A and B are shown apart, each in its own frame.
Chain A
Amino acid sequence: EPEVTQTPSHQVTQMGQEVILRCVPISNHLYFYWYRQILGQKVEFLVSFYNNEISEKSEIFDDQFSVERPDGSNFTLKIRSTKLEDSAMYFCASREGVVATEAFFGQGTRLTVV
């Protein structure tokens, strides 16, 4: 069964360092998302991506964040200069369309900023 895969599963980084989280969405899906979940809390929308550009982003997704789909299969989230409060689980999701379809989520990357 097709699935969304994310790497790494866990990343520890020092404050101020850049991190790149990687995702491979389901192959025939066209809409891609990043969400984050601070431990035990709600799932927060970061950004959506369609047709090789950002379609919507939240107030969390500031200049320190960027997304890219460099090669038609990978979908990456970059955080340029990590802060302690960026520590969270980051989930990638993809959807086949936006009408009558649910989003499928990857297993997540646990980011720990020390």
Chain B
Amino acid sequence: ELKVEQNPLFLSMQEGKNYTIYCNYSTTSDRLYWYRQDPGKSLESLFVLLSNGAVKQEGRLMASLDTKARLSTLHITAAVHDLSATYFCAVDMPSYNNDMRFGAGTRLTVKP
């Protein structure tokens, strides 16, 4: 069974600081996704990582994928309050339909 583990699960950080969220998964997959969820809202796609070594950046967020280590990172640079949300990584199952399985999420709070 595919396991997707994120850490930390809770992250409180000061504005202006940097931090990294980690996503480990247990099966061979070269497709990983990062989503953002605001409280009571849906899941918004942030990044699609489709190969080993893939790196994507959008604003203060940068995501990378190492398929050999089965590890993805979401790096936050100079955090601002607007980044407060829950961040989920999701991995495609190595099956016919490649259904996504989600990590438990990292609840990020950025304090002034």
Tell me whether A87 is interfacial, beta carbon within 8 Å: no
Bound Cα distance A105, B35 (Å): 10
Q: Using known A-B contacts A43-B88, A98-B92, determine if residue A56 contacts B97 with beta carbons closer than 8 Å.
A: yes
Which chain B residues (2-40) contact chain A, with CB distance < 8 Å?
A: 31, 33, 35
Bound Cα distance A69, B102 (Å): 25
A15 to chain B, nearest CB (A): 24
Tell me whether B71 is interfacial, beta carbon within 8 Å: no
Count of interface residues, chain B, beta-carbon cutoff 8 Å: 25
Tell me whether B62 is interfacial, beta carbon within 8 Å: no
Q: CB < 8 Å: which of A35, A42, A48 contacts B105?
A: A42
A residues neighboring B (CB under 8 Å): 31, 33, 35, 41-45, 48, 50, 55-56, 91, 93, 98-108
A-B contact pairs, 30 of them (CB 8 A): A33-B99, A33-B100, A35-B102, A42-B88, A42-B105, A43-B43, A43-B88, A43-B90, A43-B105, A45-B99, A45-B100, A45-B102, A48-B99, A55-B96, A55-B99, A56-B93, A56-B96, A91-B43, A98-B92, A98-B97, A99-B98, A100-B48, A100-B50, A102-B33, A103-B45, A104-B45, A105-B43, A105-B44, A107-B41, A107-B42
